[in-house]
Structure 1
Protein backbone atom coordinates (compact mmCIF):
# COMPACT_ATOMS: atom_id res chain seq x y z
CA UNK A 1 0.00 0.00 0.00
CA UNK A 2 1.09 3.57 -0.71
CA UNK A 3 0.11 6.46 1.52
CA UNK A 4 0.22 10.06 0.39
CA UNK A 5 -0.55 13.06 2.55
CA UNK A 6 -1.36 16.37 0.90
CA UNK A 7 -0.72 19.44 3.06
CA UNK A 8 -1.56 22.91 1.89
CA UNK A 9 0.84 25.44 3.39
CA UNK A 10 -0.34 27.40 6.41
CA UNK A 11 -2.04 30.77 6.17
CA UNK A 12 0.33 33.25 4.57
CA UNK A 13 0.78 37.01 4.56
CA UNK A 14 -1.03 38.99 1.90
CA UNK A 15 0.88 39.14 -1.36
CA UNK A 16 2.80 42.08 -2.66
CA UNK A 17 1.98 41.55 -6.31
CA UNK A 18 2.97 38.61 -8.47
CA UNK A 19 6.71 39.13 -7.91
CA UNK A 20 6.34 38.98 -4.12
CA UNK A 21 4.24 35.81 -3.98
CA UNK A 22 7.21 33.45 -3.66
CA UNK A 23 8.51 35.22 -0.54
CA UNK A 24 5.26 35.32 1.43
CA UNK A 25 5.72 34.08 5.01
CA UNK A 26 3.29 32.37 7.32
CA UNK A 27 1.19 34.61 9.53
CA UNK A 28 1.32 34.06 13.29
CA UNK A 29 -2.07 32.35 13.03
CA UNK A 30 -0.76 30.21 10.16
CA UNK A 31 2.26 29.14 12.22
CA UNK A 32 0.08 28.34 15.23
CA UNK A 33 -2.27 26.13 13.22
CA UNK A 34 0.58 24.22 11.56
CA UNK A 35 2.27 23.79 14.96
CA UNK A 36 -0.99 22.39 16.31
CA UNK A 37 -1.21 20.00 13.35
CA UNK A 38 2.41 18.94 13.96
CA UNK A 39 1.57 18.12 17.59
CA UNK A 40 -1.37 15.94 16.50
CA UNK A 41 0.85 14.10 14.01
CA UNK A 42 3.54 13.60 16.65
CA UNK A 43 1.06 12.34 19.26
CA UNK A 44 -0.22 9.83 16.74
CA UNK A 45 3.34 8.82 15.79
CA UNK A 46 3.05 9.67 12.12
CA UNK A 47 6.14 9.41 9.94
CA UNK A 48 6.82 9.67 6.22
CA UNK A 49 9.51 8.20 4.03
CA UNK A 50 9.67 11.34 1.95
CA UNK A 51 8.57 14.97 1.87
CA UNK A 52 8.11 16.80 -1.42
CA UNK A 53 7.82 20.53 -0.96
CA UNK A 54 7.59 23.72 -2.91
CA UNK A 55 10.56 26.07 -2.39
CA UNK A 56 8.26 29.04 -1.62
CA UNK A 57 8.89 30.55 1.80
CA UNK A 58 5.45 29.68 3.18
CA UNK A 59 5.77 26.02 2.20
CA UNK A 60 9.31 25.82 3.56
CA UNK A 61 8.11 27.20 6.90
CA UNK A 62 5.18 24.77 6.94
CA UNK A 63 7.40 21.79 6.10
CA UNK A 64 9.98 22.81 8.71
CA UNK A 65 7.39 22.94 11.49
CA UNK A 66 6.10 19.48 10.54
CA UNK A 67 9.62 18.06 10.10
CA UNK A 68 10.67 19.06 13.59
CA UNK A 69 7.74 17.14 15.09
CA UNK A 70 7.76 13.87 13.15
CA UNK A 71 10.23 11.64 11.38
CA UNK A 72 10.71 12.29 7.67
CA UNK A 73 13.50 10.25 6.14
CA UNK A 74 14.19 12.23 2.96
CA UNK A 75 13.38 15.69 1.61
CA UNK A 76 12.90 16.69 -2.02
CA UNK A 77 12.48 20.34 -2.92
CA UNK A 78 12.34 21.45 -6.54
CA UNK A 79 11.49 24.75 -8.16
CA UNK A 80 8.92 22.89 -10.30
CA UNK A 81 6.86 22.25 -7.14
CA UNK A 82 6.12 25.98 -6.77
CA UNK A 83 2.43 26.42 -7.69
CA UNK A 84 2.50 22.98 -9.39
CA UNK A 85 -0.75 21.78 -10.91
CA UNK A 86 -2.20 18.28 -10.62
CA UNK A 87 -0.49 16.85 -13.71
CA UNK A 88 2.94 18.09 -12.63
CA UNK A 89 2.47 16.51 -9.18
CA UNK A 90 1.26 13.25 -10.73
CA UNK A 91 4.35 13.06 -12.92
CA UNK A 92 6.65 13.55 -9.92
CA UNK A 93 4.75 11.18 -7.63
CA UNK A 94 4.42 8.43 -10.25
CA UNK A 95 8.22 8.50 -10.64
CA UNK A 96 9.00 8.09 -6.93
CA UNK A 97 11.35 5.24 -6.08
CA UNK A 98 9.44 2.16 -4.97
CA UNK A 99 11.36 1.92 -1.68
CA UNK A 100 9.20 4.81 -0.46
CA UNK A 101 5.75 3.77 0.75
CA UNK A 102 4.63 7.10 2.19
CA UNK A 103 5.03 10.67 1.02
CA UNK A 104 4.04 14.06 2.39
CA UNK A 105 3.44 16.74 -0.24
CA UNK A 106 3.53 20.35 0.97
CA UNK A 107 2.31 22.75 -1.67
CA UNK A 108 -0.28 25.15 -2.98
CA UNK A 109 -3.84 25.29 -4.25
CA UNK A 110 -5.45 24.72 -6.64
CA UNK A 111 -2.93 21.99 -7.52
CA UNK A 112 -3.18 20.03 -4.27
CA UNK A 113 -6.97 20.07 -4.12
CA UNK A 114 -7.29 18.88 -7.72
CA UNK A 115 -4.69 16.18 -7.00
CA UNK A 116 -6.78 15.04 -4.04
CA UNK A 117 -9.85 14.95 -6.28
CA UNK A 118 -7.94 12.82 -8.81
CA UNK A 119 -6.84 10.32 -6.17
CA UNK A 120 -10.23 9.82 -4.51
CA UNK A 121 -12.55 10.17 -7.48
CA UNK A 122 -15.82 12.03 -7.27
CA UNK A 123 -15.26 13.51 -3.84
CA UNK A 124 -13.94 17.07 -3.94
CA UNK A 125 -12.46 18.67 -0.88
CA UNK A 126 -10.94 22.12 -1.16
CA UNK A 127 -7.89 22.14 1.09
CA UNK A 128 -7.77 25.26 3.20
CA UNK A 129 -4.48 26.64 4.55
CA UNK A 130 -2.89 24.18 6.98
CA UNK A 131 -5.27 21.33 6.08
CA UNK A 132 -3.87 17.82 5.64
CA UNK A 133 -5.59 15.06 3.65
CA UNK A 134 -4.30 11.49 3.91
CA UNK A 135 -4.97 9.15 0.99
CA UNK A 136 -4.34 5.41 1.09
CA UNK A 137 -3.90 3.57 -2.20
CA UNK A 138 -3.84 -0.22 -2.48
CA UNK A 139 -1.01 -0.54 -5.00
CA UNK A 140 2.59 -1.76 -4.84
CA UNK A 141 3.94 0.84 -7.24
CA UNK A 142 3.55 4.61 -7.48
CA UNK A 143 3.24 4.11 -11.25
CA UNK A 144 0.10 1.97 -10.73
CA UNK A 145 -1.91 4.81 -9.20
CA UNK A 146 -4.89 5.79 -11.32
CA UNK A 147 -7.79 8.22 -11.01
CA UNK A 148 -10.08 7.21 -8.18
CA UNK A 149 -7.79 4.46 -6.88
CA UNK A 150 -7.30 6.09 -3.48
CA UNK A 151 -9.36 6.23 -0.33
CA UNK A 152 -9.56 9.42 1.69
CA UNK A 153 -8.48 7.99 5.02
CA UNK A 154 -8.47 11.17 7.06
CA UNK A 155 -8.50 14.95 7.03
CA UNK A 156 -6.72 16.82 9.80
CA UNK A 157 -6.82 20.56 10.33
Structure 2
Protein backbone atom coordinates (compact mmCIF):
# COMPACT_ATOMS: atom_id res chain seq x y z
CA UNK A 1 0.00 0.00 0.00
CA UNK A 2 1.34 3.40 -1.00
CA UNK A 3 0.42 6.49 0.91
CA UNK A 4 0.61 10.18 0.20
CA UNK A 5 -0.79 12.57 2.80
CA UNK A 6 -3.04 15.44 1.82
CA UNK A 7 -3.92 18.09 4.39
CA UNK A 8 -6.64 20.61 3.56
CA UNK A 9 -7.40 23.77 5.49
CA UNK A 10 -10.20 26.13 4.65
CA UNK A 11 -9.34 29.79 5.14
CA UNK A 12 -10.32 31.26 8.51
CA UNK A 13 -13.25 33.65 9.12
CA UNK A 14 -13.16 36.64 6.78
CA UNK A 15 -14.84 40.01 6.77
CA UNK A 16 -18.19 40.12 5.02
CA UNK A 17 -17.29 42.74 2.45
CA UNK A 18 -14.37 44.34 0.67
CA UNK A 19 -13.81 45.98 -2.70
CA UNK A 20 -13.83 42.49 -4.24
CA UNK A 21 -14.31 38.96 -2.90
CA UNK A 22 -10.63 38.26 -3.62
CA UNK A 23 -9.57 41.13 -1.33
CA UNK A 24 -11.56 40.06 1.74
CA UNK A 25 -9.28 39.89 4.80
CA UNK A 26 -9.50 37.81 7.94
CA UNK A 27 -11.38 39.18 10.92
CA UNK A 28 -9.55 39.38 14.25
CA UNK A 29 -11.43 36.25 15.31
CA UNK A 30 -10.32 34.58 12.07
CA UNK A 31 -6.67 35.37 12.80
CA UNK A 32 -7.00 34.03 16.35
CA UNK A 33 -8.71 30.86 15.13
CA UNK A 34 -6.06 30.24 12.46
CA UNK A 35 -3.36 30.55 15.11
CA UNK A 36 -5.23 28.22 17.50
CA UNK A 37 -5.71 25.60 14.77
CA UNK A 38 -2.01 25.94 13.93
CA UNK A 39 -1.20 24.86 17.47
CA UNK A 40 -2.91 21.58 16.70
CA UNK A 41 -0.76 21.15 13.58
CA UNK A 42 2.38 22.00 15.53
CA UNK A 43 1.44 19.38 18.12
CA UNK A 44 1.11 16.80 15.34
CA UNK A 45 4.59 17.77 14.04
CA UNK A 46 3.17 18.48 10.61
CA UNK A 47 6.03 19.01 8.16
CA UNK A 48 4.70 19.18 4.60
CA UNK A 49 7.25 19.28 1.82
CA UNK A 50 4.84 21.37 -0.28
CA UNK A 51 2.55 24.13 1.03
CA UNK A 52 0.07 25.54 -1.51
CA UNK A 53 -2.47 28.30 -0.99
CA UNK A 54 -5.04 30.29 -2.86
CA UNK A 55 -3.74 33.84 -3.34
CA UNK A 56 -7.04 35.39 -2.15
CA UNK A 57 -6.33 37.63 0.86
CA UNK A 58 -8.22 35.50 3.39
CA UNK A 59 -6.45 32.30 2.29
CA UNK A 60 -3.06 34.03 2.07
CA UNK A 61 -3.46 35.46 5.59
CA UNK A 62 -4.53 32.04 6.89
CA UNK A 63 -1.54 30.35 5.24
CA UNK A 64 0.93 32.91 6.59
CA UNK A 65 -0.46 32.57 10.13
CA UNK A 66 -0.33 28.76 9.91
CA UNK A 67 3.23 28.74 8.56
CA UNK A 68 4.44 30.94 11.42
CA UNK A 69 2.42 29.48 14.30
CA UNK A 70 2.91 25.81 13.31
CA UNK A 71 6.57 26.44 12.42
CA UNK A 72 6.25 24.92 8.96
CA UNK A 73 9.52 25.15 7.03
CA UNK A 74 8.09 24.77 3.51
CA UNK A 75 7.67 27.98 1.56
CA UNK A 76 4.10 28.86 0.61
CA UNK A 77 3.34 28.69 -3.10
CA UNK A 78 0.34 30.82 -4.08
CA UNK A 79 -1.50 29.19 -6.98
CA UNK A 80 -4.24 31.24 -8.67
CA UNK A 81 -6.03 28.06 -9.76
CA UNK A 82 -6.98 27.31 -6.15
CA UNK A 83 -9.15 30.44 -5.83
CA UNK A 84 -12.78 29.47 -6.59
CA UNK A 85 -11.55 26.04 -7.75
CA UNK A 86 -13.86 23.13 -8.37
CA UNK A 87 -12.88 19.70 -7.05
CA UNK A 88 -11.83 18.82 -10.60
CA UNK A 89 -9.39 21.75 -10.74
CA UNK A 90 -8.07 20.91 -7.26
CA UNK A 91 -7.41 17.32 -8.39
CA UNK A 92 -5.45 18.72 -11.35
CA UNK A 93 -3.35 20.94 -9.05
CA UNK A 94 -2.67 18.01 -6.70
CA UNK A 95 -1.77 15.70 -9.60
CA UNK A 96 1.07 18.05 -10.58
CA UNK A 97 2.93 17.77 -7.25
CA UNK A 98 6.43 16.30 -7.48
CA UNK A 99 6.57 12.73 -6.21
CA UNK A 100 9.41 13.50 -3.81
CA UNK A 101 6.68 15.14 -1.72
CA UNK A 102 5.01 12.79 0.76
CA UNK A 103 2.86 15.41 2.52
CA UNK A 104 0.99 18.26 0.83
CA UNK A 105 -0.72 21.08 2.76
CA UNK A 106 -3.31 23.09 0.86
CA UNK A 107 -5.21 26.23 2.00
CA UNK A 108 -8.30 27.15 0.02
CA UNK A 109 -12.05 27.54 -0.16
CA UNK A 110 -15.47 25.92 -0.17
CA UNK A 111 -17.39 24.56 -1.92
CA UNK A 112 -14.36 23.06 -3.68
CA UNK A 113 -12.87 21.56 -0.52
CA UNK A 114 -16.10 19.91 0.65
CA UNK A 115 -16.62 18.37 -2.79
CA UNK A 116 -12.96 17.28 -2.97
CA UNK A 117 -13.23 15.51 0.39
CA UNK A 118 -16.38 13.74 -0.80
CA UNK A 119 -14.84 12.80 -4.14
CA UNK A 120 -11.60 11.46 -2.64
CA UNK A 121 -13.13 9.61 0.33
CA UNK A 122 -16.83 9.04 -0.43
CA UNK A 123 -17.58 10.79 2.88
CA UNK A 124 -19.73 13.88 3.26
CA UNK A 125 -18.27 16.40 5.70
CA UNK A 126 -19.19 19.96 6.50
CA UNK A 127 -16.03 22.03 6.33
CA UNK A 128 -16.41 25.33 8.20
CA UNK A 129 -13.89 28.15 8.10
CA UNK A 130 -10.47 27.18 9.56
CA UNK A 131 -11.35 23.46 9.50
CA UNK A 132 -8.53 21.03 8.75
CA UNK A 133 -8.75 17.58 7.16
CA UNK A 134 -6.15 14.87 6.69
CA UNK A 135 -6.68 12.43 3.84
CA UNK A 136 -4.42 9.44 3.27
CA UNK A 137 -4.22 8.70 -0.44
CA UNK A 138 -3.55 5.16 -1.62
CA UNK A 139 -1.28 6.27 -4.46
CA UNK A 140 2.40 5.99 -5.28
CA UNK A 141 2.47 9.12 -7.43
CA UNK A 142 0.48 12.34 -7.08
CA UNK A 143 -0.49 12.06 -10.75
CA UNK A 144 -2.54 8.98 -9.76
CA UNK A 145 -4.86 11.04 -7.53
CA UNK A 146 -8.45 10.26 -8.45
CA UNK A 147 -11.89 9.84 -6.95
CA UNK A 148 -12.21 7.32 -4.12
CA UNK A 149 -8.43 6.88 -3.70
CA UNK A 150 -8.36 8.33 -0.19
CA UNK A 151 -9.33 7.66 3.38
CA UNK A 152 -10.42 10.52 5.61
CA UNK A 153 -8.24 10.22 8.73
CA UNK A 154 -9.17 13.37 10.62
CA UNK A 155 -11.39 16.41 10.41
CA UNK A 156 -10.63 19.10 12.97
CA UNK A 157 -13.27 21.81 13.29
CA UNK A 158 -12.55 25.02 15.22
CA UNK A 159 -15.57 24.79 17.54
CA UNK A 160 -14.49 21.29 18.59
CA UNK A 161 -10.78 22.10 18.93
CA UNK A 162 -11.23 25.43 20.68
CA UNK A 163 -13.93 24.00 22.96
CA UNK A 164 -11.64 21.09 23.83
CA UNK A 165 -8.69 23.38 24.60
CA UNK A 166 -10.60 25.52 27.13
When normalised by structure 1's length, the TM-score is 0.92
RMSD: 1.3
Matches within 5 A, 1:5-154: 5-16=7-18, 20-68=20-68, 69-121=70-122, 123-154=123-154
How far did residue 9 of structure 1 move?
0.1
SS where residue 154 of structure 1 aligns? strand
**Any idea what the Cα deviations from partners look like across 1:62-121, whole Å, max 9, x if unmatched?**
000110123242432122221111111111111111111111110111011111111101
SS where residue 49 of structure 2 aligns? strand
Quote the Cα distance in structure 1 between the aligned partners of 2:43 and 2:133: 17
**Any idea what the Cα deviations from partners look like across 1:13-54, whole Å, max 9, x if unmatched?**
0024xx511111111111111110111111221111111111
Structure 1 unmatched runs, 5+:
none
When normalised by structure 2's length, the TM-score is 0.88
How far did residue 55 of structure 1 move?
0.5
Quote the Cα distance in structure 2 between the aligned partners of 1:92 and 1:105: 10
Quote the Cα distance in structure 2 between the aligned partners of 1:115 and 1:129: 16
Q: Which has the higher strand share?
A: 1
SS where residue 133 of structure 2 aligns? strand
Structure 2 unmatched runs, 5+:
158-166
Quote the Cα distance in structure 2 between the aligned partners of 1:41 and 1:70: 9
* Alignment: residue pair count: 154
